[in-house]
Structure 1
């Protein structure tokens, strides 16, 4: 199998299919902000899959789950948000603006500290940029800072309400163990057994190489497929070929090509 052929074909398919999905979404005049939010999330989901595809060295248990955790998190967020486009996207946007406003205040505190005076101009540029970004969407005095979760729910509860609890249990949770460097991941991928029996073969740190596995890219493809199905369900945005159908067709063509080469060699 030619990895370069897989990557170029998959990325090209994603670019075309993203345009095909989004152009079918009709945006009501009274829900512009809501559709900006869900459209941005659609774009990010596809972008994450493209970025993973273009970096085959990350198709392993060390790195790929960092992408996949973001993709499962995004899917749960999007699925929950789509069940109430009147309120939930606005909560998502306003919470994000509030976090940006809070960051500005942190930068302003740095401006008052002597050790940051050399960086004063750079810090002010960061403040000005973020203030402009906030005001382009809301006047900053209308933006409230909320340090809680934007949905007032944890991710598991959102997954339950969005009917994707299995995704939470079997994908989001194990991928979160990688993202947060939890023991179930670290003990497998970052340690090995000590060879000294006097040490009771305890675990010691090790830089382990793990094989590349295209299955990680398949999972990214699957999460894009699930995301497209949300847009098909809510907006009727059907496309000629869904991601998993493309994936199956690609590997079928590879199998046929290898079979033809084998037959040719036999003769």
Structure 2
């Protein structure tokens, strides 16, 4: 029997299995705050030194090496740098492999330490790229051995080096972090271990040829973080710093990034496919479902007087269908508006399911009267205003507020109509899993939270020397479509409608035949084509 293909959501989850993350259930809590896992370690871990922002600029030569050489060759160079430091640099304990410490080295010390780099034929044509940076602390040493490269070539080399090492858990970054640790332990002799750590030290020494890399690599990264107080001068390499050695200057990588921003252009996609309307099948089915629900309303009506249960149930379902159809016939299903609509449909479903599970005439009336009161509130707030918002029709508000009975007899409830928030409602009727899945992220778009604004109006600059910073995109590429999720929720609302007013068997089915990723109108930019975000496509450059 043929094996069924994995569901799209299962496939999406596969790539996250190896993430070294603390799950939500294991994170500490303090009242309304879910704390980060390092909180218990104190203030020092709240603002750790950034690998990308601070460490990569201080080890640019190594970033170029791991990008230019194949991995085995790069590791040989790193190992040789540490070995020759041990063998040929008398005052090796005062130095380190980073640019800020190499700036303190004499010519002979630098040449001895960096001899494996200087002797490499493969690196001769790329190390001159370092000289494009006036910030580089040890620039004078590299200038003794290499001629400056053309600006375009230097930028290309540095961009590749930074891009390939910016991920602090990537293989190349781990190799660079291993170099620092190896130097720290064996050349500077700044870490000491008792016999119980002999195996761990051996695994570091013989990396990557000894031990299980799934445990060795995280160990290297964790231990490397312990070298940074020395690297950046918050702890002196020696308690009694030699009088003949210049003091380590205060380290600040921000001028490097500012320099790179000034010397290199932003690189953003020059064009990409914009958002598009939903699939034809989705539009057709939603329109047909809406008509069928309307027909079922007429078949099940029992009275023409106010009927909170009948009108409320059908009203919520048809409202969701209306919103779903609106986002299906427009590009909004792949834009911020689609996420707002998804959140609204989710709330409509949780409300309907709560009412369906309780199915109490008093609660149905409570839901309806709350809505009447809110209409009265909106009317009274605007009826005496000189300038009324353009979207408000006071005649309509007055009509709705008086529809069931004279508004003067209606109370206005200022809290939630069921005295519950949406999360509590979802818990009461077994929908907490759905709430957790959809509510938080979609609500961000309703409330204008930073991440939602960021995902909607910013795109990333592809220039690694700009730290992949964010630039306005105005109408950026389409986001993943919300239509499949909307279809699933609408179907569950139809289940509730069928439970209240049987029998209604029609359901949406188009979404079961498509790959969710196919619904996104986003398209990768043409390979290697980028444009300046200010000057437009005329300033397109090759990466």
Written as runs of structure 1 = structure 2, the 5 A alignment for 1:1-267 is: 5-19=280-294, 21-23=296-298, 25=300, 27=302, 32-55=307-330, 57-82=331-356, 83-110=358-385, 116=386, 127-193=394-460, 195=463, 197=465, 202-207=469-474, 209-211=476-478, 213=480, 215-239=481-505, 241-244=506-509, 246-248=510-512
Structure 1 gap ranges (5+):
111-115, 253-267
CA drift at 1:21 = 4.5
Q: Deviations over 1:51-91 (max 9, x none)?
A: 11111x22314231121111101000111112233122211
- Displacement of 1:107 after TM fit? 2.2
Which one has a bigger Cα radius of gyration? 2
Mark the CA change 1:131 to 1:9 in structure 2 (over 3 Å): closer, same or farther: closer
Runs of 4+ with deviation above 6 angstroms: 28-31
Task: Encode CA deviations 1:202-259: one digit per residue, 9 max, x unaligned.
Answer: 544433522365x5222221111110111223333231x4213x5446x59xxxxxxx
Deviation per CA, 1:135-166: give whole Å up to 9, x if none.
Answer: 22112222011221122110000111121111
TM-score, normalised on structure 1? 0.74
CA RMSD in angstroms, aligned pairs only:
3.4
Report the CA distance between 1:20 and its aligned residue. 5.5
Equivalent-residue separation in structure 1 for 2:278 and 2:376 (angstroms)? 44
Distance in 2 between residues matched to 1:65 and 1:160, nearest whole Å: 22
Higher relative contact order (CA 8 A, sep 6+): 1
Task: Give, in whole Å, the separation in 2 of the partners of 1:58 and 1:17.
Answer: 25
Q: Provide closer, same or farther for how the CA distance between residues 247 and 92 of structure 1 changes in structure 2, counting only shifts above 3 A.
A: same
Distance (whole Å) between structure 1 residues aligned to residue 427 and residue 298 of structure 2: 30
> How far apart are the structure 2 equivalents of 1:162 and 1:30?
29
Between Structure 1 and Structure 2, which shows a larger proportion of helix residues? 1
Q: TM-score, normalised by structure 2?
A: 0.39
Instruction: Report deviation, 1:19.
Output: 3.7
C-alpha change, 1:190 and 1:84, in structure 2 (3 Å) is same
Alpha carbons of structure 1 residues 21 and 210: separation in structure 2 relative to 1, 3 Å: farther
Instruction: Count how many residue pairs are aligned between Structure 1 and Structure 2.
Output: 236
State the distance in 2 between where 1:79 and 1:44 align.
15
Note the residue ranges of structure 2 that are not aligned, 5 or more in a row.
1-276, 516-543
Q: Distance in 2 between matches of 1:29 and 1:15?
A: 21
Which residue in the other structure is 2:77 paired with? none
